[in-house]
Amino acid sequence: MSNSRPLEIYMLPFLSPGHMIPLSEIGQLFSSAAQNVTILTTPHNAASLTKISNSPNFRIQTFSFPAKQVGLPDGLENFLSATDIPTATKLYTAVTLLQADLESFMLSSPPDVIISDMFFPWTADFALKIGVPRIVFHATFIFAQTLKNAVREPDSPHHSVESDYEPFVIPNLPHKITMTRAQLPDYVRTPNGYTQLMEQWREAELKSYGIVVNNFSEFESEYTAFYKDIMGGKIKIFHVGPTSLTQSSSNDKANRVHKTVIAETECLSWLNKKAPNSVIYVCFGSACKFPDTQLMEIACALESCGYDFIWAVLGKDDEKDEDMIKWIPSDFNQNVIKTKRGLIIKGWAPQVLILDHPSVGGFLSHCGGNSVIESVSCGVPIATWPLYAEHFYLEKMLTQVYGIGVEVGVEDWNLWVDCGKKIIRREKIEKALRKLMDGEDEMVKEMRRKIKELGELAKKAVQVGGSSHKNLMVLIEELKQIRDQKS
């Protein structure tokens, strides 16, 4: 390093687990490289971040959350608790009200760099005002950013198809990517207030020094080069992940930020009794709470397919066992749970610990960015069930670019609060699971070979001398040069 004095880095994670966890772990990477990192967040969220790092140069600065000003109860500070649009709207309003306090703090004690989530676009102009670089974090892949950019163009073919379910090819990409209009976000199909926010985030990105990505560069090298090109060649992109691979012990893997509802020993004990590649892991992220009718279809498919499974079901953690009869078949408990063929976790599951176990051979997933990179890092192929956000884009990466996923056949993008609005039947689910887990099928063997190879590349990337480690060191060096030239 040209200067041994550490950087003063302020990080602003969005108040949602899928954003907070990876950005805070990126903060841990910086602090492990002897840089000073301060996470700016609220008291309730700070409590869940204390396990990220015990490094003396990693600290958390809290700001009072304006819950009462927007009509929220005390302690409701995270989008994990938002189960409807009005609550989410109040939360987002409260987040915008934090700007004044955050700016005041950063003006009184200026950092050398601001690394902020895309949901804080104002940090781009603020960083320019105080003369420091701003790095943006998107909580997804550059591949998804590329597709988002492609469909925002006025000549995107989704404007000219005759129906929502007519396939079209997104033009001018490195691969042939086929989608339907129904799989695109609502704000792409019909411009709304969120469309305007997307444009604000894009403009803020163009004013920023670069993008930091929780991924490894080898996984999306073509799209990184492509995205830089379409963004005018000005933006720098630093792949520094996967951050999940920084968790080395089983205890760390089991308790990343959120305390899991199952003991690490119980989970490992169950998995250790299973054959290699024999278990399906089922989880749909931190925001999806399916209705009982959809849970019943999943349960019937899991029972019928015959494979061992671990199923994480959110929104049921305070439910009594006898209430499960509403969303499982009558003989499910007797035939599946008591025989130890299946394990249901009602609440937060130790996902990385599960995926990294050799008995796990498939993942039924919503294709959220964190779930995808964690599965790839562990070498586990995915049955894709996209729901909202950028999930359908990432499904296409898994199935159409890399061939490491099997589509369940979900047709419609929905808001997270409408998950399960259109029920996916058990026959579709079972068919995808059988296709994913058929160890004798040549296509499945090739899929497993590819994803195991990618998993090895991910592990090498985060090691000293690997691509992600090098990118982190380069970014630190460049930021120090900017600081020193300024002084």
Look up residue 32 and give its two tokens: 């492990």
Q: How far apart are CA 184 and CA 204, in angstroms?
A: 23
Contact 166, 397 (CB under 8 A): no
Tokens 């930021």 locate to: 479
d(CA 31, CA 6): 9
Separation of first and last alpha carbons in the chain? 17
- Cis ω for the linkage preceding 242 (within 30 of 0): yes
Residue type, 167: P
Is residue 198 within 8 A of residue 443, CB to CB? The reply is no
Q: For residue 298, give the DSSP letter.
A: H
Rounded distance between C-alpha atoms, residue 117 and residue 51, angstroms: 20
Give the phi and the psi of residue 383 in degrees, each rounded to 5: -90, 120
- Cα–Cα dist 447/372, whole Å: 15
C-beta of residue 39 within 8 angstroms of C-beta of residue 60 = yes
Alpha helices in 361-422 (DSSP H): 369-377, 391-396
Phi, psi of 178 (to 5 degrees): -105, 130
The Cα–Cα gap between 393 and 369 comes to 10
What single DSSP character describes residue 334?
I
Query: Which one, of 130, 136, 80, 144, lies nearest residue 102 by Cα?
Result: 130
What is d(CA 198, CA 202) in angstroms, rounded to the nearest whole number?
6
Helix (H, G, I), strand (E, B) or coil at 114: strand
Residue in this structure with the two tokens 């691969």, named with its chain if needed: 175
**Positive or negative torsion for Cα 268, 269, 272, 274:** negative
Q: How far apart are CA 301 and CA 280, in angstroms?
A: 12
> What distance in Å separates the CA atoms of residue 330 and residue 333, rounded to the nearest whole number?
7
* CA-wise closest residue to 406 among 382, 388, 434, 376: 382
Q: Cβ of 86: how many Cβ atoms within 10 Å?
A: 10
Give dist(CA 84, CA 114) in Å, integer.
31
Instruction: Write out the catalytic residue numbers.
Output: 19, 117
Instruction: Compute the residue count for the chain.
Output: 487
